[in-house]
Structure 1
């Protein structure tokens, strides 16, 4: 067995270790040391410093995991938000609002009433005024659909913002710990 002399990183004392030793405690300062056998040299490292580095890396890993959770949440929300979108008459997609749905519905209802009045006044056959009723029915359906989608989007958006705020708070807390 080959005996090697190494220096304690805690107090500088000379220690003698054989090549099979991996960990040692200094007899003088009681520092716990790791004996590192490299290809050309043998030296010691204080284990507490290694533990501190490991703790710091674990803390940093926790921040990275939380940041990944935040990015995943943002991506999922963007995907989910597409399900709430409504398409306008020219293919333009937008998020619904209750006010917009009601205003659009009222506009179509007035248009249907005007159509019915116009066709009756002109003496058109009976099925022409029925188109006005179809218009009014479609308007009511769109008002209900748009309003319910707007309410569902509002609730989902609120949940998303709460989860996002929670993750941001956790990230800030973890960063403060470091």
Structure 2
């Protein structure tokens, strides 16, 4: 048994032309401007909506979501860098924390080295086990120089890598915002 379909007159949102659709139609194409339309059957009115508008809105939402994802990646990268950066920091005898530098390591280690050489020389003149103390001091100075410069180089390389990743993410965010 076939039932009669109710035919409704709607207006094309693309060109304004009158279209006739029955209640079973969900999508249509305008015969005049060829706009793709969604037919919306509300309880009180039937109207059309351009599918291109829906597509643009969906694309815009996807673009906004991409920007948010990239911003979250940037915040995560910054947090991870701050944690990693703390591992590189050196602490002075008064508790001040600072970024390691090759110059600081060389100066500090050089002072220790001079003191170790002086202690070895004085100990050799006095005799006994004092020259060994100076040699230990020299060894600690050399270790300090190597460790400090290695730490400073590691920090510089890690910071360079972090900044490159950060700049890449910022470029991606800017690109996503433009699209």
Alignment TM class, shorter chain as reference: 0.7 to 0.9
1:13 aligned onto 2:17 = yes
**Given the alignment, which residue of 118, 130, 133 partners 1:131?**
133
**Structure 1 gap segments, 5+ residues each:** none
**Structure 2 gap segments, 5+ residues each:** none
**Given the alignment, which residue of 44, 50, 56 partners 1:52?**
56
Match of 2:170 in 1: 168
Deviation readout 1:1-20 (Å, 9 max, x if unpaired): 44333221122223232333
Q: What TM-score, normalized to structure 2?
A: 0.84
Distance 1:38 1:90 in 2: 75
**Given the alignment, which residue of 136, 148, 152 partners 2:150?**
148
Aligned length: 175
The Cα of 1:55 is off from its aligned counterpart by: 2.2
- Partner-residue secondary structure (3-state), 1:126: coil
Deviation readout 1:60-117 (Å, 9 max, x if unpaired): 3333332222222222211221222222223332221111001000111122223334
Distance 1:74 1:174 in 2: 20
- Partner-residue secondary structure (3-state), 2:14: coil
Distance 2:137 2:8 in 1: 95
Match of 1:93 in 2: 97
Match of 2:75 in 1: 71
Alpha carbons 2:91, 2:97 under 8 Å: kept: yes
Tell me which moved more, 147-156 or 88-97: 88-97
Q: What TM-score, normalized to structure 1?
A: 0.84
Alpha carbons 2:8, 2:20 under 8 Å: kept: yes
Match of 2:8 in 1: 4
- How large is the RMSD of aligned CA atoms in angstroms? 2.1
- Partner-residue secondary structure (3-state), 2:24: coil
